Homo-oligomer: A and B are copies of this chain.
Amino acid sequence: MAERKRVVILGAGFAGLRAAQTLAKQAMDITIVDRRNHHTFQPLLYQVALAVLNPSDIAQPIRAVFRHNSNVEVLMDEAIGFDTDRRRVDLRSGAQLTYDYLIVATGSTHSYFGQDEWSKLAPGLKTIEDAVEIRRRVLLAFELAEREMLEKGTHPELNFVIIGGGPTGVELAGAISDIAKLYMRRDFRHIDPSQAKVLILEGSPSILAAYPEDLRESAVRQLNDLGVQVLTGQHVTDVQPGYVILGTGPDARRIDTVVTLWAAGVQASPLGKLLKVEIDRRGCVLVDQFLNPKNHPEIFICGDLAHVEQDGRQVPGTAQPAMQMGVHAAKLILADINGEKRTPFHYFDKGDMATIGRKAAIAKVIWPFKAHMSGFPAWIVWLVIHISFLINFRSRFSVFRQWAYTYLFFKDGARLIVGSQNLPGWNEQQVEEKLDLNAPELTAKR
């Protein structure tokens, strides 16, 4: 028997975690590298952003997951370079890792189409930090409006603008509408939170482009029923504190906002580039049926970072394919070690679903039966699937109780504003205050 193989896994998202779990009980040494100390259950991140769940309900320390697997080590670090000839990963800390097999599953991040300064003004939703920041902004908008109402007898319109009509944009829009119309309905004395306007700006002709037309239309109807406006074919040309600009030239329109959120574009992690392998325009690595980039059977690309074609269309960058790729990469490594033949990856598509606030959703079900569902039934399916995931994931029931409690019965949940008490473009004095409050990154005032 040869000496133990060394497997390095970059990224502890769905793909990396499942790969590590599949290999954890095998006779090999596994190193997981992630910039964060926790795995995040991204499908419910928007519920942290909208104060229904706690960060720790949907995030788990990676070390804790593998505590009992002594052959798995976890490093909170970041890959910054590769020497694929020497099979070596260089980490930001200066450490270097050698590998027999490398699994790269570092996913994707927001793309501001080159306008990175927009990220300060329109945060996206990929991490716990993002979720906490979005929560802070959304809740704070109501507080500042109440304050201003008392002072001036009027307040800026509570316009929440979401740029991008994909699943995340739709989830955020529905959830903000819920917060304003249901959870907060008796919280304020001077403003009426239910007057909040939620607007989705989508550049393409339709939101949720990945879904069949009947479900897309149903989604728009359900959003409208919640009071969410959907503007399609609208190109955001500028994002400024307190407003966004649509279109250019004479037709340019200004839309005032209290909170602007970004759900428009994603780009792949830069590791594809660093690997010097073939990538597509979004930075995803082109891989073969064994999830390998060209000429690198020892390197597996999984999850959002992988560009996998199946039946003529690209496998979507969602949790399901990511987990399946992670497991499959692990199995191929085991096949090699056991001298078995590698089997090609095939994405088993059970379908997709997008939730639209409380009691509303669309679902394209493929397995165990084919169906297009929408409205309450789709939402129930979504709920059951995600609750079971979550219980499984956190292996405790209390999350579900917390969730049911908050989400179904409009209870308080985690509606805390933590951090700065200012919003971009709200008013000068507050912007100044913001600066001195938060300039030193490490002050306890954070």
Residues on A lying within 8 angstroms of B by beta carbon are 35-38, 54-56, 59-61, 63-64, 67-68, 70, 73-77, 91-95, 110, 119-121, 123-124, 127-130, 132-134, 139-140, 143-144, 146-148, 150-151, 186-190, 262, 396, 398, 401-402, 405, 412-421, 424, 433-435, 437-446
10 example contacts (A-B, Cβ-Cβ < 8 A) are as follows A37-B143, A54-B55, A56-B415, A59-B416, A64-B187, A64-B415, A76-B140, A93-B150, A133-B444, A434-B442
**Which residues of B are found within 8 Å of A91, using beta-carbon distances?**
147, 151
Complex Cα spacing A68 to B412, Å: 13
**Which residues of B are found within 8 Å of A413, using beta-carbon distances?**
56
In-complex Cβ contact of A94 among B54, B151, B412 (8 A): B151
Complex Cα spacing A124 to B446, Å: 11
CB distance from A274 to the nearest CB of B (A): 17
CB distance from A184 to the nearest CB of B (A): 8
Complex Cα spacing A441 to B440, Å: 9
Complex Cα spacing A190 to B60, Å: 21
In-complex Cβ contact of A418 among B55, B94, B262 (8 A): B55
CB distance from A135 to the nearest CB of B (A): 11
Complex Cα spacing A148 to B59, Å: 25
Give the copy number.
Answer: 2
- The answer to whether B418 and A35 touch across the interface, beta carbons within 8 angstroms, is no
Given contacts A61-B416, A119-B443, list 7 more A-B pairs with CB under 8 A.
Answer: A55-B418, A56-B414, A64-B415, A93-B147, A95-B151, A124-B444, A127-B444
Complex Cα spacing A187 to B128, Å: 22
CB distance from A351 to the nearest CB of B (A): 30
- The answer to whether A76 and B405 touch across the interface, beta carbons within 8 angstroms, is no
In-complex Cβ contact of A414 among B54, B148, B151 (8 A): B54
Complex Cα spacing A187 to B143, Å: 41
CB distance from A407 to the nearest CB of B (A): 13
In-complex Cβ contact of A401 among B54, B398, B438 (8 A): B398
- The answer to whether B396 and A55 touch across the interface, beta carbons within 8 angstroms, is no
Complex Cα spacing A440 to B38, Å: 24
- The answer to whether B61 and A129 touch across the interface, beta carbons within 8 angstroms, is no
A128 in contact with B418 given A189-B70, A396-B405, A405-B398 (CB within 8 Å): yes
**Which residues of B are found within 8 Å of A419, using beta-carbon distances?**
129, 446
Chain B residue at minimal CB-CB distance from A415: B61
- The answer to whether A150 and B37 touch across the interface, beta carbons within 8 angstroms, is no
In-complex Cβ contact of A443 among B120, B139, B144, B398 (8 A): B120
- Between A76, A91, A95, A132, the greatest number of chain B beta carbons within 10 A of the residue's beta carbon is seen for A76
